[in-house]
Chain A
Amino acid sequence: MRRLVRAAGVVALVAAGSVGGGTAQAADTNGLLRLAHLSPDTPAVDVYVDAVADPDAGITLEGVSYGAVSDYQDVPVGSYTVSMRQAGASPDTPPVLSTTVEVTGDTARTVAGVGLFADLGLAIIDDSLQTPPADQSRVRILAGASNAETIDVGIAGGPSVATGLAFADTSEYVDVPAGSTSLTVAAEGQAPAELPVDLAAGSVYSLVVLDADQGLRVEPVLDAAGAAVVPVGGVETGAGGTADTGPSASLVVLAAGSAAAVVAAGTRFRRRPGRHATHRP
């Protein structure tokens, strides 16, 4: 059981703050949280995010499985603990503390659970919420495919996005031409694959490379967007998560972006009514 619970460490948490530039602006008193699971062989987990200073602030995310990137939730700035439990485990099973995360009002961070189950780790990744010029998109790669030890990713006929990116690593953001295009993903020792993707102008994406039944797949996750770009509920691939609680008005644009996390299905946020919610034994 302890080993299974350790799998909880694969979950990622994103603490996103206000936008320092760009088009979206968050209140200094709130930030955004987002969660992802990028470990191919790790079971699904339930995640508990608790504010250390505020007894009434907490979020539960249920059934977070491989490939899931949760919606953003706006939370007060401060320190948070992240605890996890194997999804579906008995309510009597205690969640296990995985890490603590600082949410600030002027930064955006991803705490990513990465790697294989046997070598599980949590990585905090800084997100850029600075939106690019109107005719550009800003993208980066989250390498979550164990089928590819390293990958090269580029825009077909365009700039390179990542070179020799190792499994469980994250590339830097790169500005690329916006529009419907293809990603060329070349895993080491394998033939390059062309994967279609729509990149909205003025938007920021994390392109998550995942194991597929055959080869690889790429899931674009919207980090931030210009005000006119992204509807809540989904982006280019049509999938998308929904949030049970709406973010503050100042974070609507960012939250919309996060709601477009196309692999967020199955993840559910809810604000805990109090410190001792019934689901927390």
Chain B
Amino acid sequence: MTDRRSARAGAHRASSGRGRKLGLVLAAALVAVACLVAGFALWPDDPSASTDEPANLPGAGAREDLVEWTGTELPADTPVAVPAALRTVLLEAGEDPARFVTSASGALQVVDGTPPAGAVVLARFEDPVGEVLLVVDPAPGVPTPEETDRRARLAAAVLANPGTGAEGDAAEVLRTADLDARLLSLLSVLVAQFDVRVADFPAAPAEPADGPPARRVLLDRSGPDRLTPGSPAADRLTTFLAAQLPPFAPDTVEVTADGLLIGFRYASAPDAMVTSRTP
């Protein structure tokens, strides 16, 4: 009897132990399922994902950001060198094989994590899981001393114009002449002819703080007039901007509630482009 009790008790303990183990297994399974669900929820859809993708292939979100960025921030004929596995995925998704190459002279590069020495980081994309994708210019153009001096003088003149009204970071950009020579030239004529006020030099999308010289400017006034959508002052400026020719023709002109945003796509050597107009 005792043995049976003991046996039952033993059986009960055994049964109870199995139940706890089962509960633990179920709990673990639930946690795993929950993690999977959460992971899928956080990870963007990736129809092209396959089990044979390299472990370091960036996620679809970063890839889409990269493709969109190249479309808006680079000239159409600027190649971008990407790892072979990434290129395969991009081309399968229908991207331009002339845009995304595995290697090309003068091409920008996509690297994952650490930029090469001497490179300037143009854009930084990060997956939810922390995978970092960088677009870099491995050999950015270096202005000549004359070009550097010209840029400094022109930026100082823009800042000296009482109508420019740049303050804070915007003033610092002008003070250090840390802006694209094409934008600076265009800004100089806008300041001289249209009495525009500089509100900001907003960074380009995905651009890090230590990125290339500013190539976008936000203007909020032209003389006494605010630059808002539909305002005569904004229309006058957009007409002027539309008539400009390379290298001074901006790539983007957008009138927002904050003002008129003017931008240029990235160029590795904008000073040389300006110099070519006036040797």
Contacts and interface: CB of A to CB of B under 8 A. Distances in A.
Interface of A: 2, 5-6, 9, 48, 50-55, 58, 78-81, 83, 92-102, 111, 121-124, 275-276, 280-281
Interface residues of B, number: 31
B279 A50 contact: no
Interface string B146-160: 000010011011101
Nearest to A281: B236
B189 A97 contact: yes
Given A6-B245, A100-B150, 4 more contacts: A52-B191, A53-B156, A53-B157, A123-B279
Contact of B243 (A9, A96, A276): A96
A123 B279 CA distance: 5
B96 to A, nearest CB: 27
B181 to A, nearest CB: 10
B188 interface: yes
**Chain A: interface secondary structure?**
strand
B191 A97 contact: no
A50 B189 CA distance: 7
A79 B186 CA distance: 13
Contacts of B236: 281
A97 B161 contact: no
A81 B277 contact: no
Given A55-B163, A97-B244, A97-B248, A102 B189 contact: no
Interface string B118-158: 00000000000000000000000000000000100110111
Nearest to B223: A276
Contact of B189 (A54, A81, A123): A81
B2 to A, nearest CB: 105
B106 interface: no
A97 B195 contact: no
A281 B240 CA distance: 9
Nearest to A99: B278
Contacts of A50: 189, 192-193
Sort A-B residue pairs by CB-CB distance and give the 5 closest, nearest first: A50-B192, A52-B157, A79-B157, A53-B160, A81-B189
B243 A81 contact: no
Nearest to B222: A276
Contacts of B88: none
